[in-house]
Copies of this chain bind each other. A is one copy, B any other.
Amino acid sequence: MNKTSKIPVPTIERLALYSRPLENLLDNGVLVISSVKLADLCGVNPAQVRKDLAYFGEFGTRGVGYDVQDLLKEIKRILATDREWALCIVGIGNLGNALVENENFRKRGYKFLAAFDSDPRKVNRVLYCGLTIKPASKITQLVRELHIEIGVIATPPFEAQKVTNLLIDSGVKAILNFAPVQVRAPEGCLVENVDFTVRLENLAYHIREPL
């Protein structure tokens, strides 16, 4: 197989999923894991695990399983999390603040190099992580100077699209949007919209009394 051309999108999502328990296993000194056990830890089918991995190569040993350390390294290579990524965040409200201070991002190589807000009362405030909040008017200049690749949006909804356009014009390649609107990007720029209430509505649908 080994054709990068037709990798299912869900496969990529699951690779990220697999890497979480693998990190734990590595920390706990587990050397080898089978597709059955890994699948169980992630709540998926074992054949799925094997097939997902097989898209990228043969990482296992028949009769044995997968070397935890090797497998984790391969997954990180595939997902490009074996390097650092330069991020910026726009909108330092409660959520924006929680995101920029989140150790979890940093630990995985996602580093916030700039934080922006359009509220003059917030500009120049120094965040716990050490960043100084810059005015939104500096977005283009700083994104270019710092070679920022991914923009994170945590503004109120009515500003999200404007900020998206600005970030894209400034050269970011992808956007992670937490504002509760579907922002649109031109061909070639990637956007992920994360809307917590969509997740809640999904839960609510499934636990509600049937119609």
**Chain A residues in the interface with B (C-beta under 8 A):** 4, 12-13, 15-17, 19-21, 41-43, 56, 77-81, 85, 93-95, 97-99, 101-102, 104-105, 108, 110, 149-150, 173-174, 176, 180-182, 184, 190, 192, 194-211
Contacts and interface: CB of A to CB of B under 8 A. Distances in A.
Q: DSSP class of A's interface residues: helix, strand, loop or mixed?
A: helix
Contacts of A12: 201-202, 205-206
A86 to B, nearest CB: 11
A190 to B, nearest CB: 5
A66 to B, nearest CB: 18
A16 B200 CA distance: 10
B102 A95 contact: yes
Nearest to A203: B174
Nearest to A181: B20
A200 B110 contact: yes
Contacts of A150: 200, 203-204, 207
A153 to B, nearest CB: 12
